Amino acid sequence: MGQVRRWRHPPVYRPLVDLSTMEERHVIVTYRLDRATIQELCAQLEPDLMSAIRHPTGIPPLVQVLSVLHFLASASFQTTVAIVSGMSQPMFSNVLSIVLSALLKHMRSYIVFPQVEDLPTVKVDFYALGHIPNIIGAIDGTHGALVPPHRSEQVYRNRMSYHSMNVQMVCLADQYISHVNAKFPGSVPFLQEDGPEGGLVAAVEPVDSEEDEAEEEDIDNGNKVIQQYFQ
């Protein structure tokens, strides 16, 4: 007699996260965004997330976004966030990659350096905060810890003796981010006076060997605005 073939039922994902049952305060503490912003973000990312799902019982876009926001907001481990979200760590790893790619796709719709004609308004907004004239941005940096690649471990070691990526941001008076530079490893100082980007400067080459043309264009536009302002 031949062997009886057993049909395996496809796994069905049962969400453990329900945004509608959470208090608004709890939503903000957990995800660093309010409920309305999360729903708007999900609506914008849903086409990208749905096209990336390979299984008919895939994870709903809302759960994908919530799990990644929780991961980013808590700086926790993938396994911990995966358990809370009701998925395995390998599954969450795939979700993380998909959602981050979707976020990067829409990043330039939100992170935009002011044009020359917008600078008077920017200066007025900053003056209203601290009564300091001619401010067009607030700049600061931070280190994002990571596990470095073996081939260039020393390049990622920062002055506090742990491995990181060096991230520099500029924001406006209303706290909207207008520029981000996250291309340099932790050994690069935050601020140097000389260099094409007026901030994190190539004491070493950027981590990515292939420059993103759109990003370079944004940097060039920002530099032109600053140069015209100080002429």
Going residue by residue through the chain (231 aa), what tens digit of pLDDT does each one get?
556 666 666 555 666 777 888 899 999 999 999 999 999 999 999 999 888 765 544 788 898 999 999 999 987 888 888 888 888 888 899 999 999 999 999 988 889 999 999 999 999 999 999 899 999 999 998 998 888 988 889 999 999 999 999 999 999 999 999 999 888 999 987 654 344 444 443 333 444 544 455 555 555 555 555 444 444
d(CA 40, CA 84): 23
Cβ-contact 42, 103 below 8 angstroms: no
Considering only CA atoms, which of 88, 91, 86, 19 is closest in space to residue 55?
91
CA–centroid distance for 140 within its chain: 16
What's residue 80's pLDDT?
A: 87
What's residue 213's pLDDT?
A: 55
Rg (CA), the chain: 22
| Residue 74 C-beta-side C-alpha neighbours within 13 Å | 18
What's residue 203's pLDDT?
A: 38
Cα dihedral sign, 189-106-69-25: positive
For 182, phi then psi, to 5°, come to -130, 40
What's residue 74's pLDDT?
A: 87
Predicted TM-score (pTM) above 0.75 = no
For 184, phi then psi, to 5°, come to -110, 145
For 167, phi then psi, to 5°, come to -120, 125
